[in-house]
Amino acid sequence: MSIATKANAIWQYANPKKFLATTERVLPFFWISAAICLAVGLVWGFFFTPDDFRQGSTVKIIYLHVPSALMAINCWLMMLVTSLVWLVRRHHVSALAARAAAPIGVVMTLIALITGAIWGQPMWGTWWAWDPRLTSFLILFLFYLGYIALWEAIEDPDTAADLTSVLCLVGSVFAILSRYAVNFWNQGLHQGASVMRAGAVTGTDTTEKVSNVFFYPLFLCIIGFVLLFIALVLYRTGTEIRARRIRALLARERAGA
Amino acid sequence: MMPDLGKYTEAVLSSYALSLLLLGLLVVLSLWRGRKVRSEMEQTELRISRDG
């Protein structure tokens, strides 16, 4: 099979029936593997890792803060891709996938903000600072709320999908800023990347990075959050597809009456 | 079994409690709505096919 044919094979999932049939089959794998990774990662991190020499036991917050912040940003980027697919190809499943992902993004952003504040208080002496990363994260949270509100406010689903897709494009600036703001705005309390840095792994970058004793359980937690996100998106997209079918059936019934 | 969290006990435990509560709520509400919508769809399809 050629690469182009393989790439084209993805569009078969734009068919709601095909999407639902496939997700029914793969969902148990994602639910179970997410539960295992999260349980092992969190228990390992909480019970079996030492305190940090500077941060004490607050370092244990890393197992929730970093994966949730990572997913908060990547959830928006996933919504950006599916929104672009909607705008270009008009596949309803992609618009519904973006809609289904938004509440997951809200929860991930909220967890990152709450755990960040709780961690920041003993380390920085404040719950909150108008630091570039924190501020762009707060704006991302507001964008998530606005995105959900826009879907709920517009009755016609195609118009709602169009407008929310445009909002998603605009909000992407803040999703990217919340990841890279610390790199080009030097003021602020939040540190730069200390976990996912290619240079730190290859040895070309010798600045401080998170120790392996914390990194291994953290990596497992990140995998767990990714798997949980996939399971939730697939499940919730299925729900949105069924809700759309109910609306279509009722509209057809009203038109025939 | 419980590790000694020292003076940060409150901060660490509240972080875990709030995060797990939010994740739990997200999963439970997603599953609850999923089941509700699925059963509504089945009932609607059945009613429409019965009524012709």
What residue spans define the domains of chain A? 29-49+57-193+212-250
Cβ pairs bridging A and B (under 8 Å): 92
pLDDT above 90 for A99: yes
Residue B51 is predicted with a pLDDT of 79
CATH architecture of A29-49+57-193+212-250: Up-down Bundle (1.20)
Query: Which whole-number Å values give the CA distances from A2 to A9, A11, A14, A131, A141, in the listed order?
Result: 11, 15, 21, 48, 41
Contacts for B24 with CB less than 8 Å, ≥ 6 apart: none
- Determine whether the interchain pair A119/B11 forms a contact, defined as Cβ–Cβ distance below 8 Å: yes
Chain B residues 2-31 with a CB less than 8 Å from chain A: 3-9, 11-12, 14-16, 18-19, 22-23, 25-27, 30-31
Compute, in degrees rounded to 10, the torsion defined by CA atoms A200, A201, A204, A205: 0
Q: Cβ atoms within 10 A of the Cβ of A234, count?
A: 20
H/E element holding A227?
A: helix A212-256
Helix (H, G, I), strand (E, B) or coil at A98: helix
Cross-strand bridge partners of residue A56: A52
Interface test with B, best of A57, A96, A104 (most B CBs within 10 A): A57
Residue A147 is predicted with a pLDDT of 98
Residue B2 is predicted with a pLDDT of 85
Complex ipTM above 0.85? yes
Nearest Cβ partner for A57 among B1, B8, B38: B8
Averaged pLDDT, A78-84: 97
On whether the CB atoms of residues A41 and A63 are closer than 8 A, the answer is yes
Burial of A25 (0-12, 13-18, 19+ CB in 10 A): exposed
